[in-house]
Amino acid sequence: MGIFSRKGSSGFSSSSTAEEVTQGIDGTALTAIVTGASSGIGAETARVLGLRGVHVIMGVRNVAAGTEIKEAIVKEIPSAKVDVMELDLSSMASVRKFASDFISRDLPLNLIINNAAAATPFMLSKDNIEMQFATNHLGHFLLINLLLDTMKKTAKESGKEGRIVIVSSDAHKFTYGEGIRFDKINDETGFSNFKAYGQSKLANILHANELARRFKVDFSANFSINVLILLCFSVGFYLQAIDEISLTYRLIDCAICFPRAHKQEEDVNITVNSIHPGTTVTNIFRHGGIFNGIVQTIGKFVFKSVQQGAATTCYVALHPQVQGMSGEYFSDCNLAKANDQARDIDLAKKLWDFSMNLVK
């Protein structure tokens, strides 16, 4: 990748590695969940976060494979704090158990990195959802919803910004014409495993954008309420000075009632961003037959290494340059532009409602 790379405004490029983009960053006060951390980009993400002092919870489907990665990390970095927990994102029961087990540990939660992904032929999950949509989007959607209160609590008590990083892909540009096949999500008719993968990656960006939008709405609503309260009190004190005491009391009563209605929406110090890791040689297309063979054969010459593939994830998770940025799409550790469908607010809202109905 080196001869084709050029540094962007962040100072990093497609050739940058996860270690390089996190150099000098101290993550010792942070706790992160990394899904799909038993191989590829997820394993490298866990390793580099561990290197920077982050307490890493590896959410993995294959606990034995995850334990091997953990042992390798700790052998290389004796100070690394890494735990392995079982998580099958294609199963809502497994996601709920993982979240429940994590919460029972009473740990803080600063970072969620939704890295796990599958690229499969047509098959249904245990919950009768198309497997790629279930694993790549829906399981992560449910996971975040279940752990959001823990993240909010951690952000508020620590004063540190919480960050959610959703690993998408430029494959979001190669989905079905309508973007998301809401009415045919589980229909084998017209199914394409490559388009289904693109659909799930589009869903990742839409999910990130909608969650970020909801956080911003929460903050704006709370800010507006606070301004209204100040105005009410200011007007109230002025009217009191001219003996309009009864109106003053009414204004104060009105002002006091507003924060009660919005209490659950306040102090959301969490950002949500999606990223494209770059085309990387991993085992994600292990079900792809000849295509997988081609990727594994020539990929090492034209694609990113795993160390480079994990760079954007680690950059968005830890780097101070990203402080306060939310609802953005990153590639090669720089801001990038997703396609029009990925930036469609109405489509994002529709996906949110659709997903909520599926996880009920």
Query: Is there a catalytic annotation at residue 153?
Result: no
Helix H or strand E encompassing 146: helix 139-158
Catalytic residue among 10, 91, 168, 169: 168
Backbone CA torsion sign across 291, 292, 297, 303 = positive
Location of structure tokens 């297309």:
285
Catalytic residue among 15, 16, 39, 197: 197
Query: Is there a catalytic annotation at residue 274?
Result: no
Query: Is there a catalytic annotation at residue 168?
Result: yes
Q: What is the dihedral of CA 227, 233, 236, 240, to 10 degrees?
A: -150
How many CB atoms sit inside 10 A of residue 76's CB? 11
Long-range contact set of residues 264-268: C-beta below 8 Å, sequence gap at least 24: 265/218, 265/221, 265/222, 266/218, 266/222, 267/152, 267/155, 267/156, 267/222, 268/152, 268/155, 268/215, 268/218, 268/219
Active site members: 168, 197, 201
